[in-house]
Amino acid sequence: MKLDATDLRYITSDEFRVLTAVEMGSKNHEVVPLSLIVQISGLRNGGVNKLVGSLAKRNLISKVQNAKYDGYRLTYGGYDYLAMRALSKRDSMHSVGNQIGVGKESDIYVVADSEGNEMVLKLHRLGRVSFRAIKEKRDYLGKRKSASWMYMSRLAAQKEWAFMKILHEHDFPVPRPIDQARHTLLMEFIDAYPLRQISEVPHPGKLYSTLMDIIVRFAHAGLIHGDYNEFNILIRRDSGEPVIIDFPQMVSTSHENAEWYFNRDVECIRTFFRRRFRYESTLYPRFKKTMEESSEGPGFQLDVMVEASGFGRKEMKVLEEVSLCSKTARAQPYIYF
């Protein structure tokens, strides 16, 4: 999806009021009736009629003809706009550049602050593949069901923000988190290539053990990455050092399937190194042993700290369900074993 940076500047304040009214209305309406938009925005009826037309033309909202009533729905474009506006109001970001990635469930853009410093904006897109599956099965969102894709994408961004912050504070090799709004996350731009694109490294054994050490450090801090593969490991262009990204699926080492997640992360690296660099080692971390030698004690449990920071167990569970569903609903982009 194309982000239109010019829209950031040229929306009128009345259009903004109407757009916000549609967002608020969609918290408990799948399709927000025009009368509710009028009511929330506090603008005149005739005025709102014109404004919804111009917002719909710019794809920030879309008109939906319903069996019961006609109304409007916020689009991803509209949600993107609201998030970017919030970030630019806070002076976190100023302009939008090129798209550099289309992930499984996100879009990645290079953006800049007012001084031209480059950053990365990650827009979460949960629901692009997965939500249809989950909607049919689950009802735990209750009344919020109508706003589900917005809600789930926001949860994913909040979770990623919470983890990235705490990992960065504890000197893990992750991008520096800068700001978070709605379903988006602003972070440091890493001048790097994904490991996936790299055909040769000077010392495969050294990189291999660095990557395994990071898995062990994660586990000693109570965490498992959960998607530790060549797509989510960036290799810095200058130093060749790895930087780990993509945290919405992180799990605690006290999770019931922790060992399985841990082993999968380890296996991903072993398999990749065998195939790509013809490198194999008998040394690799085992879950039980890693947990036994965990020496930091309860004062250094990052999973507990993340929870204390406001991203609770309930939210974690909701996201986990979605990612499980999405894993079965889509074709796997890579093979684990």
Q: Does 194 bind ligand ADP (CB under 6 A)?
A: yes
Taking the complex as a whole, the smallest distance from the CB of residue 173 to ligand ADP amounts, in Å, to 12
Considering CB distances under 5 to 8 angstroms, the limit depending on partner class, which of ligand ADP, Mg ion, none binds residue 187?
ligand ADP
Q: Does 246 bind ligand ADP (CB under 6 A)?
A: yes
Q: Does 230 bind Mg ion (CB under 5 A)?
A: no
Q: Which is nearer to ligand ADP, 15 or 246 (CB)?
A: 246
Pairing of β 106-112 and β 95-102: antiparallel
Q: Does 232 bind Mg ion (CB under 5 A)?
A: yes
φ, ψ for residue 287, nearest 5 deg: -60, -50
Q: Which is nearer to ligand ADP, 188 or 315 (CB)?
A: 188
Q: Does 246 bind Mg ion (CB under 5 A)?
A: yes
Residue 318: Cβ within 10 Å count: 18
- Scanning 7-15, 65-73, 182-190, 251-259 for contacts with ligand ADP by CB under 6 A, the matching segment is 182-190
Among residues 7, 107, 227, 246, which one is catalytic?
Answer: 227
φ, ψ for residue 278, nearest 5 deg: 55, 40
227 is catalytic: yes
- At residue 285, the 3 state secondary structure works out as coil
- Scanning 86-94, 99-107, 267-275, 317-325 for contacts with ligand ADP by CB under 6 A, the matching segment is 99-107
CA Rg value for the chain: 22
Q: Does 180 bind ligand ADP (CB under 6 A)?
A: no
- At residue 223, the 3 state secondary structure works out as strand
For the chain, list the strands marked E by DSSP. 32-33, 61-65, 70-74, 95-102, 106-112, 118-124, 177-181, 184-188, 192-194, 223-224, 233-236, 242-244, 251-252
Paired tokens of 236: 């810095």
Residues noted as catalytic: 227
Residues within the interface to ligand ADP (CB under 6 A): 100-101, 103-106, 108, 120, 122, 175, 187-190, 194, 231-232, 245-246
Residues within the interface to Mg ion (CB under 5 A): 103, 231-232, 246
